[in-house]
């Protein structure tokens, strides 16, 4: 997998927007950008993915830089339930391969 | 219904024992995986299984063996358990080769995990 770099931790207040950055400067033209999160004592959970255009779903938005070397996961109104470790991943082209998880960003939400 | 379910949730056992962890998915996916999360919280792929064929094995000791009785199940057997095997093990599945575009096929759905403690 292409390498991704994320801040170790971020802190935000409840009901405020959160922007989680990810750098992937060695991304190839066909690499998708995926985000997962892992809530305490649970398995990882898919959040969103994109290739070139910005994406929105019920959980979050994904903003992808024009050169695709970075992306930002946006939680529009963070709740305490969003406290988790967020992982930015570039899955391998083969769909049967496993995902490579880095250290991720530990998101802390203050009430 | 839980999409990917693992049993047991907790497993405490002695060194040298043989144990199994079961995984079932009801999503109709054709690829399943096992991951290990150690005490430092690093998640690492162990195996993936596609159409009853082992696709990858990331330097996992041969004491670990995946067994797939059918497409919906991928069980993890561990022989001669060691202290270092203590970790949380996650099962996952993905719709690789069955549906979706290139980005969708890599989406993986995880179980809640099995916490293995070897004493």
**Chain A CB within 8 Å of residue B89 CB:** no
Q: Which helix (H) or strand (E) holds B66?
A: strand B64-70
Closest to B74 (Cα-Cα) out of B47, B98, B45:
B47
pLDDT score for B52: 72
- State residue A80 phi and psi, 5-degree precision: -60, -30
Query: How are beta strands A9-13 and A105-110 bridged, if at all?
Result: parallel
Task: Supply B63's token pair.
Answer: 């004491």
**Chain B CB within 8 Å of residue A37 CB:** no
pLDDT score for B55: 77
CA distances from B50 to A69, B30, B31 (A): 32, 6, 5
DSSP assignment of A35-79 equals EEEE-TTS--EEEEEESSS-EE-SS-EEEE-TTSSEEEEEESS--
Task: Supply B57's token pair.
Answer: 């094995």
**Cα four-point dihedral sign A65, B93, B18, B88:** positive
pLDDT score for A96: 64
Closest to B75 (Cα-Cα) out of B114, B118, B105, B119:
B114
Report cis status (omega within 30 of 0) of the bond before B103.
no
Query: How are beta strands B53-57 and B64-70 bridged, if at all?
Result: unpaired
Question: For the segment A17-58, what is each residue's pLDDT rounded down to a tens digit?
Answer: 999 999 999 998 888 999 999 999 999 999 999 999 899 999
Q: List the 69-88 stretch of B: residues with Cβ below 8 A of A.
A: none
C-alpha R_g of chain B: 14
Cβ contacts (< 8 Å) between B105 and chain A: which residues? 95
pLDDT score for A29: 84
- How many CB pairs below 8 Å do chains A and B form together? 71
CA-CA distance, B92 to B74, in Å (whole number)?
9
Task: Supply B45's token pair.
Answer: 């792929």
CA-CA distance, B76 to B88, in Å (whole number)?
13
Q: Is A1 exposed, middle or buried (0-12, 13-18, 19+ CB in 10 A)?
A: middle
CA distances from B52 to B30, B45, B68, B71, B85 (A): 9, 17, 6, 7, 25
Where chain B has pLDDT below 70, the residues are: 1, 96-103, 105
Cβ contacts (< 8 Å) between A1 and chain B: which residues? none
Residue A100 banded pLDDT, cuts 50, 70, 90: confident
Substitution target in B35, B106, B113, B114 with the highest count of A β-carbons within 10 Å is: B106
User: Contact B47/B57 with Cβ under 8 angstroms?
Assistant: yes
């Amino acid at each position: 997998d292409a390498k991704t770099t994320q801040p170790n931790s971020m802190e935000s207040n409840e009901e405020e927007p959160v922007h989680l950055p990810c750098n992937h400067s060695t991304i190839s033209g066909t690499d998708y950008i995926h985000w997962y999160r892992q809530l305490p004592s649970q398995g990882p959970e898919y959040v969103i993915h994109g290739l070139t255009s910005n994406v929105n779903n019920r959980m979050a938005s994904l903003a992808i830089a024009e050169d695709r070397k970075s992306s930002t996961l946006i939680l529009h109104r963070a709740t305490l339930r969003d406290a988790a470790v967020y992982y930015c991943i570039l899955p391998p082209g083969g769909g049967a391969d496993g995902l490579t998880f880095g250290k991720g960003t530990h998101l802390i939400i203050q009430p | 219904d839980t999409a990917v379910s693992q049993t047991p949730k907790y497993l405490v056992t002695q060194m040298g024992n043989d144990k199994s962890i079961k995984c079932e998915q009801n999503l109709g996916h054709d690829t399943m995986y096992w991951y290990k999360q150690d005490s430092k919280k690093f998640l690492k792929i162990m195996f993936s299984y596609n159409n009853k064929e082992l696709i990858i094995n990331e330097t996992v000791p041969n004491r670990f063996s995946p067994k797939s009785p059918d497409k919906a199940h991928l069980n993890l057997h561990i022989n001669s358990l060691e202290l270092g095997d203590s970790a949380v093990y996650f099962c996952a599945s993905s719709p690789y080769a069955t549906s979706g575009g290139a980005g969708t096929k890599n989406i993986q759905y995880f179980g809640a995990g099995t916490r293995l403690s070897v004493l």
